[in-house]
A and B are shown apart, each in its own frame.
Chain A
Amino acid sequence: MKLRAENLSVRLGQRLVLDRVRFDLSAGEMVAVIGPNGAGKSTLLRALSGLVPLSSGRVLLDDRDVAGMCKTELGRQIAFIPQDRAVHWPLPVERVVGLGRLPHAPSTHDRVAIAAALKAMDLEGLAKRRVSELSGGELARVLQARALAQEADILIADEPTAGLDMGHVLQLLGLLKGLVAAGRSVIVAVHDVSLALRFCHRTILLCEGKVLAQGASDEVVTSQHLAHAFGVAVRIETLDNVPIVLATSTLT
């Protein structure tokens, strides 16, 4: 399944939040979206998921315009994990994860998908617990499990690693890598740019609503690009084959 954004512009009120963004995603690819606060990362992810009206351009899912697609059908193709982690009623964990099955017609497969999602996110022990009794990180995993239960070909996640402990960050990204290896595609917005370098095939660097650079992660996550986008001096090192990106000082 291919996702393509053509000249995507989004205006929120008077502000142009995304300015003519072009982007392609192929099956089996994991792409990171990075950029400073307010760069338009969340808006790009929402636009790609068909969740915000575009002021120009279009998003194509296998050559079909997302804007014209039925919401339920879109929900079966693209699972979106918002940054906002609100759960408004204290439902049991397994029922929240089960909400991921809503775009699908009810079937016996639902239980299998929910059980698999709970297992993948290390939540089997918490299945009966009410979400109001969970920590922030546990809740994040529950909401990610909901998206996994959706069994969509494309997973789009906005800051999924925020609030997770380091063990669960690695576990989540390992899981996403596994999904990609199985032919699905993933787009993640991340604040920790070293994760983009380490786990993602490609990276898009956004700055003030425009694409500053996009391509192979090691070509985009460079000290020059990061200095330009974030206004910081950056050192990029490798330790035991793991890339480390360190902001050393602010540039004035």
Chain B
Amino acid sequence: MRRDDDARIIDSAGAAVDGASSALAQYGTVGVLAIVTLVAFVMSLMLGPEGFGLPAFKGAARLVLIEIRLPRALLGLLVGGALGITGAALQGYLRNPLAEPGLLGMTGGASLGAVIAIHTGIAAAFSLALPLGGLIGAGVTTLAVVLLAGQASAPVTLILAGVAMSSVAGALTSLVLNLAPNPFASVEMLYWMMGSLSDRSLDHVWMAAPLIVAGAALLLTTHRALDALTLGETAAQNLGVNPARLRNTIVLGSALAVGAATSVTGAIGFVGLVVPHLLRPFVAHEPGRLLVPSFLGGALLVLAADVGLRLLSPAGDLKLGVVTALLGAPFFLWLVLASRREFGA
């Protein structure tokens, strides 16, 4: 059997979980994840500066609940879900366990759009100008990736185009940071790029939710094709997969979900990479069945990380993207150790 080395590393990590998970594997995963995610969502709603408490539904407390905590929890759910499902879909489509939502350039594009909005001062003009800048950035980058990759492109060409456009967006983002009109603007840009759920309003939710839901729905339609791709492109075509249609669905679904998510919260790393890995053994490694659990798992991870950082740093100094990166890095260390055990090094 031919497989990439990185796939083998993941196998070895997954194998340890496999045995214990077989009973839970089939249908319980989604149910358990849904319940735990709901608990995390409610905890996010209950958490205030004085710790956890039952939210009140009248007066100022109601306002705090509706205007501050609810958008934060809803965005945690939606953005985490978007990152999780996109990571799972891209890993399945590219048959590479190291694929992550930023691979096709949407995250870099959204960041560029947002920093330009801050640099030009448009961000201060109205509350949604910043996320709109991010959306435009993500949209332009996606279009550039698709044009660069060409119509009849193989997945590897799509990755190359995504990496190329990510590099362009990264270079331009550095340029905008470099040319920042004053230190406050630089700090604002850097903070935005670290990713956060704080100070978002229901307007942000209304803006991102339809796009994330549409993107996730598109990605869900690919589940059978992703399963078929397990056998390679030729066999998948023989099983009824239309490669061009699949590619377009994946690109559009990812662009909508990740573009909208990054535009409202900034770049939140590792969620889309780690979550599908952790859940894969619970769905017998089937890429199609990984999509829904990864949405829930991503939502759970972001909600839990956000609750955790609010407990650790009630003043809001700690940024969500930093916390997910701090959680993600040990995951890679674990992968290295798991692969060392596998190969007896």
With A92-B284, A136-B1 in contact, do A143 and B231 touch (Cβ < 8 Å)? yes
- In contact, A132 and B237 (Cβ under 8 angstroms): no
Q: List the A side residues contacting B7 at CB < 8 Å.
A: 88-89
Indicate if A82 sits at the interface (CB-CB under 8 A).
Answer: yes
User: B1 near A99 (CB under 8 angstroms)?
Assistant: no
Q: Which of B319-344 contact A (CB under 8 A)?
A: none
Interface membership of B306, Cβ < 8 A: no
Assuming A85-B2, A139-B1, A146-B231, is B284 touching A95 (CB within 8 A)? yes
Q: Is A74's beta carbon under 8 Å from chain B?
A: yes
The reply to whether the CB of B163 lies closer than 8 angstroms to some CB of chain A is no
| Docked-complex contact B3 and A86, CB < 8 angstroms | yes
The answer to whether the Cβ of A40 comes within 8 Å of any Cβ in the partner chain is: no
Given contacts A82-B238, A85-B2, 14 further A-B contacts (CB under 8 A): A51-B237, A51-B238, A71-B241, A75-B240, A86-B2, A86-B3, A87-B1, A88-B229, A91-B284, A91-B285, A95-B286, A102-B228, A131-B1, A150-B239
User: What's the least CB distance linking A191 to chain B, in Å?
Assistant: 19
- Give A71 to B225 CA distance when docked, in angstroms: 12
**Is A134 touching B1 in the complex (CB atoms < 8 A)?**
yes
Q: A86-B2, A90-B285 are in contact. Are A78 and B95 (CB under 8 A)?
A: no
Pick the residue among B1, B224, B227, B284 that contacts A85 (CB under 8 A).
Answer: B1
User: In the complex, which of the residues B230, B239, B286 has the most CB atoms of chain A within 10 Å of its own CB atom?
Assistant: B239
11 A-B pairs (CB sep. < 8 Å): A51-B238, A75-B240, A81-B235, A82-B234, A85-B1, A87-B1, A91-B284, A91-B286, A102-B228, A139-B1, A143-B235
Contact residues, A148-198 vs B (CB, 8 A): 150
**Residues on the A chain within 8 Å of B231, using CB:** 86-88, 96, 99, 143, 146
Expressed in whole angstroms, the Cα–Cα distance for A132 and B8 within the complex equals 9
Knowing A51-B238, A75-B238, A79-B238, the reply to whether A88 touches B284 (Cβ < 8 A) is no
- Residues from chain A with a CB closer than 8 A to the CB of B238 are 49, 51, 74-75, 78-80, 82
Is A22 in the interface zone, CB < 8 Å from B? no
B contact residues, range = 20 to 34
Instruction: Identify the B interface with A (CB < 8 A).
Output: 1-3, 7, 11, 14, 18, 95, 224, 227-232, 234-235, 237-242, 280, 284-287
Judged by a CB distance under 8 angstroms, whether A100 is at the interface is: yes
User: Would you call A11 an interface residue if the criterion is a C-beta within 8 Å of the partner chain's C-beta atoms?
Assistant: no
CB of A240 within 8 Å of the partner chain: no
Contact with B along A90-119 (1 / 0, CB 8 A): 111001100110110000000000000000
A contact residues around B234 at 8 Å (CB): 46, 51, 80, 82, 84
Cβ contacts under 8 Å, B235 to chain A: 80-82, 143, 146
What's the interface size class on A, roughly?
35 or more
- Cα–Cα, bound, A189→B19 (Å): 40
Contact, CB under 8 Å: B240 / A89: no
Interface centre among B3, B235, B241, B280 (most CB of A within 10 A): B235
Distance (whole angstroms) from the CB of A80 to the closest CB of chain B: 4
* A-chain residues with CB within 8 Å of residue B3 when the two chains form the complex: 86-88, 132
- Which A residues are closer than 8 A to B by beta carbons? 46, 49, 51, 70-72, 74-75, 78-82, 84-92, 95-96, 99-100, 102-103, 130-132, 134, 136, 139, 143, 146, 150
Query: Is the Cβ of A102 less than 8 Å from the Cβ of B224?
Result: yes
Given A90-B11, A99-B227, also A75-B239 (CB < 8 A): yes
Question: What are the 8 A-B residue pairs with the smallest beta carbon separation, nearest first?
Answer: A72-B240, A88-B95, A80-B238, A75-B240, A89-B285, A102-B239, A103-B240, A82-B234
What residues of B have a CB within 8 angstroms of the CB of A79 in the complex? 238
A-B contact count (CB 8 A): 93
The answer to whether A86 and B241 touch across the interface, beta carbons within 8 angstroms, is no
Give the shortest distance, in Å, between B159 (CB) and chain A (any CB): 15
CA distance A131 to B15 in the complex (A): 12
Give the residue name and chain of the B residue nearest to A70 (CB).
B240
Is the beta-carbon distance between B286 and A84 smaller than 8 angstroms?
Answer: no
Is B230 a contact partner of A91 (Cβ separation < 8 A)? yes
Kindly list chain A residues whose C-beta atoms are within 8 Å of the C-beta of B11. 90, 132
A96/B232 contact (C-beta < 8 A), A71-B242, A90-B11 known: no
B284 and A132 within 8 A (CB): no
B1 and A132 within 8 A (CB): yes
Q: How far is the CA of A25 from the CA of B66 in the complex (A)?
A: 69
Q: Are B230 and A87 in contact (CB under 8 A)?
A: yes
Contacts of A134 in B (CB 8 A): 1
Point out the residues of chain B lying under 8 angstroms from A100, CB to CB: 239
Contact with B240, one of A86, A88, A102, A139 (Cβ below 8 angstroms): A102
* CB-CB under 8 A for A89 and B287, given A99-B228, A136-B1: yes
Q: Taking the nearest CB of chain B, how far is it from the CB of A231, in angstroms?
A: 30
Q: Is B232 touching A84 in the complex (CB atoms < 8 A)?
A: yes
Name the distance in Å between B280's Cβ and chain A's nearest Cβ.
8
Bound complex: CA of A150 vs CA of B239, how far in Å? Answer: 8
Minimum CB distance partner of B242 in chain A: A71
**For B1, what are the chain A residues with a Cβ–Cβ distance below 8 Å?**
85-87, 131-132, 134, 136, 139
Complex contacts, B284 vs chain A, CB 8 Å? 91-92, 95
B14: A residues at CB distance < 8 A:
90
Output the nearest chain B residue to A131 by Cβ-Cβ distance. B1
Given the complex, which residues of B lie within 8 Å of A91, measured CB to CB?
230, 284-286
B residues near A74, Cβ cutoff 8 Å: 238, 240
CA distance A88 to B234 in the complex (A): 13
CA distance A78 to B285 in the complex (A): 27
B232 CB contacts on chain A under 8 angstroms: 82, 84, 86, 88
